[in-house]
Amino acid sequence: MEYRVVQPNGSIRTVRGRGFPVLDNDGKPYRVAGVTEDITEQKQAEIDQARLAALVEFSPAGIVGIGLDGTVQHWNPGAERLFGYKASEVIGQSIRMLAPPERQNEFATLSQSIRAGNAVRAYETVRNHKDGSSIDIILTVAPILGTSGEPVGMNAIVQDNRQRIQFQKEPQRLKKSRNASRKSCTTDTARSSADFKCEFAACKNASKTRD
């Protein structure tokens, strides 16, 4: 049984109590012995783990757990929405399956940093959607440390970068559109001027003929 107790200093601890009967020579219980264990830290760790699991589950970003060899170990719903693959389709597979041919070597570079215990922040790259289209993304990758303090894997936060890339390209698109409009206006103005000159010349010749 688990319950909470208030200590003399006002702090609250969570404890687990276990009791069992002590039998006499005739096999009859004559008293109860018990053990009380302080599980405050364990309960807090469980709460923290549940909170972290909820953050991962409901995060709008893709969160992917990856082994040092590149094997996908965790794939949250955000990753499903971003890449189009369900967790069952990618867990156990190599994360390289998402990289286009020209970016296959990127994992080795990222893995090298993680093995050295260093995080990789705001790394802009491109990955493939299940439908074959390309996705501009931003990667943030952090090492997962084992009990000895050595990296045993990595967590990657994947954010969709397509909107930002499109926003950066918008001024260039508008500039090209304005240049094209100016060129069109100049051409139309030149054409109108030429047409006017021709009409004027025709009228002038007609006047001379009447004279």
Higher pLDDT, 53 or 138: 138
Mean pLDDT of 36-44: 88
Higher pLDDT, 127 or 26: 127
Higher pLDDT, 165 or 95: 95
- Report the 10 Å Cβ neighbour count for 77: 16
The 3-state DSSP class for residue 124 equals strand
pLDDT cut 70: percent of the chain above it: 80
CA angle 93–135–154, rounded 5-degree value: 45
What distances in angstroms separate CA 200 from CA 100, 187, 191, 204, one per listed residue? 63, 20, 14, 6
Residue 71 parent element (H or E): none
Asked whether 96 and 70 are in contact (CB, 8 A), the reply is yes
Segment among 53-62, 114-123, 194-203 with least mean pLDDT? 194-203
What tens digit of pLDDT does each residue of 126-162 get?
999 999 999 999 999 999 999 899 999 999 999 999 9
Residue count of the chain: 211
Asked whether 1 and 17 are in contact (CB, 8 A), the reply is yes
State residue 169's pLDDT score: 72
State residue 171's pLDDT score: 67
Is 80 exceeded by the pLDDT of residue 41?
yes
Segment among 18-27, 140-149, 186-195 with least mean pLDDT? 186-195
Mean pLDDT of 174-181: 65
**Nearest of 14, 66, 18 to residue 41 by alpha carbon:** 14
What are the residues facing 2 on neighbouring strands?
16
What tens digit of pLDDT does each residue of 63-98 get?
999 999 999 999 999 999 999 999 999 999 999 999
Is 90 exceeded by the pLDDT of residue 210?
no
The 3-state DSSP class for residue 30 equals strand
State residue 52's pLDDT score: 78
State residue 118's pLDDT score: 95
Is 70 exceeded by the pLDDT of residue 194?
no
What distances in angstroms separate CA 91 from CA 56, 74, 101, 119, one per listed residue? 16, 6, 21, 23
- Report the 10 Å Cβ neighbour count for 15: 15
Q: Considering just the CA atoms, what is the radius of gyration of the chain in Å?
A: 36
State residue 69's pLDDT score: 96
Average of per-residue pLDDT values in the chain = 85
**Helix and strand numbers, DSSP H then E, in the chain:** 5, 8
